[in-house]
Amino acid sequence: MKKTILITGASSGIGREAAKLFQHNGWNVIATMRSPEKELELNQLDDVLVTRLDVQDQSSISGAIEEGIARFGRIDALVNNAGYALVGVFESATREQVYKQFNVNLFGLIDVTQAMLPYMRLQGSGTIINISSMGGQITFPFGSLYHSTKFAVEGLSESLAHELYSLGITVKVIEPGSIATNFRGAVDMIKNDIAAYDPIFAGFFNNYAQAASHLTKATPEEVAQIIYEAATDGTDRLRYAVGADAHFFIDTKYQNSDPDYMRQMRGYFIK
């Protein structure tokens, strides 16, 4: 019997590439997105159901799961991929920006996972793959809200991995670094009018580029391949870092004392 996977945020990037890869490898795919009516590629593939799911809309979550099960009979794996990065001065963030960042990256993931668990529990099997980031293990300045959501995803995933183990449900965490060279283009920016931060923030993106210039960035296709590995390797391995930059920064944290790690990271960004 063919296996079925549901992927959130499948309209672009990692989610789209994962949907194509799983379909190519013989899976049924429920490719979900906020505006499925705009999709022109995935809905042309065999055994792919393109349907609406907005992680901030619980009725769309339950609707997508029910539609997927009606079409394919069961769902064997879930990829919580929907999310975005909010970058800028924390003090300048609006309440609306803070809530949206947490609603999409954390509470939306929680809602989708809770909606899926009853089906996996009754099946006695399933794999939940949460897309975190190297930013769920380490931090950069001006990413406090994004990092806090990804740190929460890491903690949630690790605890659930224990909690669901005896039910036959496996939890995995994917930790990509910056994808290709699009770190700056893939974020929402916080407008800042506080001059005291200008000297630090002005050099942030250039400082990041210099710190990571020698490190290969993963492509969306490479991240999709690791997602496929996590879904099919049959292990209880929890974390999968992707990209040389992710391995470098995560290793920097865990191979140094906390004071040395903090000094090294500030050396990259606070100049």
Active-site residue identified among 11, 146, 172, 208: 146
H/E stretch holding 150 reads: helix 144-163
84 is catalytic: no
Active-site residue identified among 3, 20, 150, 172: 150
CA gap 36, 38 in Å, rounded: 5
CA gap 183, 206 in Å, rounded: 11
132 is catalytic: yes
Sort strands 126-131 and 85-87 into parallel, antiparallel or unpaired.
Answer: unpaired
Tell the burial category of 17 from Cβ atoms under 10 Å away from its Cβ (0-12, 13-18, 19+).
Answer: buried
Asked whether 172 and 230 are in contact (CB, 8 A), the reply is yes
Q: What is the largest CA-CA distance in the chain?
A: 61
CB atoms within 10 A of CB 200: 15
Q: Give the CA distances from residue 88 to residues 71, 141, 205, in Å, rounded to whole numbers and listed in that order.
A: 43, 8, 11
Active-site residue identified among 132, 144, 148, 157: 132
The DSSP output letter for 9 is: S
CA gap 157, 144 in Å, rounded: 20
CA gap 147, 140 in Å, rounded: 8
150 is catalytic: yes
CA gap 126, 121 in Å, rounded: 8
Active site residues: 132, 146, 150
